[in-house]
Amino acid sequence: DGGITQSPKYLFRKEGQNVTLSCEQNLNHDAMYWYRQDPGQGLRLIYYSQIVNDFQKGDIAEGYSVSREKKESFPLTVTSAQKNPTAFYLCASSILPQGTHLGYTQYFGPGTRLTVL
Amino acid sequence: GQQVMQIPQYQHVQEGEDFTTYCNSSTTLSNIQWYKQRPGGHPVFLIQLVKSGEVKKQKRLTFQFGEAKKNSSLHITATQTTDVGTYFCAGPDNYGQNFVFGPGTRLSVLP
């Protein structure tokens, strides 16, 4: 929504398998983010990227990996090292943050619900 | 580290009643944003507040930024079933590179 797509909407995987979640945006945004949301909980930042070929760990990066080979794309891989991967994963994008004085809106994709069996 | 808290965690109201959620930051914020997430959906931006003491209205929604720029509130007048969802506040982190989201207030509206 708002130019950000995530696929698939629902994803089922067996325990021990890596899985990659897709996130694409056509808003020409420099910054992209991945969040994890557990039932009834808030948003926790996994990784973010402000420029192609560069990304930073968020609060809960362990067991996850990302890449940013293109401005439009920021895929997230949930590895087998992630001990509790079942969750709702949200991708977002924004213009490049410019310090603390200018706010910027985050546009969220529709999310992917990952269930690990 | 920086913390953003919200109260209450849950609120159940009868349709037509008013609703208020409060957001408090451990640090002074340059600005604050509010998002709404419908059940099963994704967060959608509602508004941004920048100035100390700022008040903005969107139809039945009134947003306020505290004088010290450490707290904010969202007030909904005469709730409707379409207001159901979780309301998040978010403020810039200490480095200005990300937003820190509050845990959200989940609103239920009984018809």
- pLDDT tens figures, B44-86: 999 999 999 999 999 999 999 999 999 999 999 999 999 999 9
Give the type of residue at A99: G
Name the stretches of chain A with pLDDT < 50.
1
Chain-chain contact of B98 with A97 (C-beta, under 8 angstroms): yes
Of B44, B99, B103, the CB nearest to A41: B103
> What is the C-alpha to C-alpha distance for residues B88 and A48, in angstroms, rounded to an integer?
20
- Write down the pLDDT at residue A81: 86
Partner B contacted by A100 (CB < 8 A):
yes
Across the interface, whether the CB atoms of B103 and A1 are under 8 A apart is answered: no
Query: What integer pLDDT is reported at residue B97 of this predicted model?
Result: 74
Work out the angle at residue B42's Cα, subtended by the Cα atoms of residues B36 and B45, and round it to the nearest 5 degrees: 40
Average pLDDT over residues B2-8: 92
φ, ψ at B108 (rounded to 5°): -115, 135
Residue-wise pLDDT for B10-56, tens only, equals 999 999 999 999 999 999 998 999 999 999 999 999 999 999 999 99
Give the pLDDT confidence score for residue A102 in this predicted structure: 59
pLDDT of residue A23: 98
Identity of the amino acid at B87: Y
A108 CB near a chain B CB, below 8 Å? yes
Q: How far apart, in whole angstroms, are the C-alpha atoms of residue B5 and residue B45?
A: 18
Q: Say how far apart CA B40 and CA A109 lie, in whole Å.
A: 12
DSSP tag of A56: E
State which residue of chain B sits closest to A58, comparing Cα positions: B98
User: Nearest CA to CA, how far is A79 from chain B (Å)?
Assistant: 24
pLDDT at position A105: 85
Res A117: pLDDT: 87
Q: Is A61 in CB contact (< 8 Å) with chain B?
A: no
Residues from chain B contacting residue A107 (CB–CB below 8 Å): 45
Encoded tokens for A15: 């325990």
Q: A1 vs B42: CB contact, 8 Å cut-off? A: yes
By the 8 A CB rule, do B52 and B6 touch? no
Quote the CA–CA distance of B46 and B57 in Å, as a whole number: 11
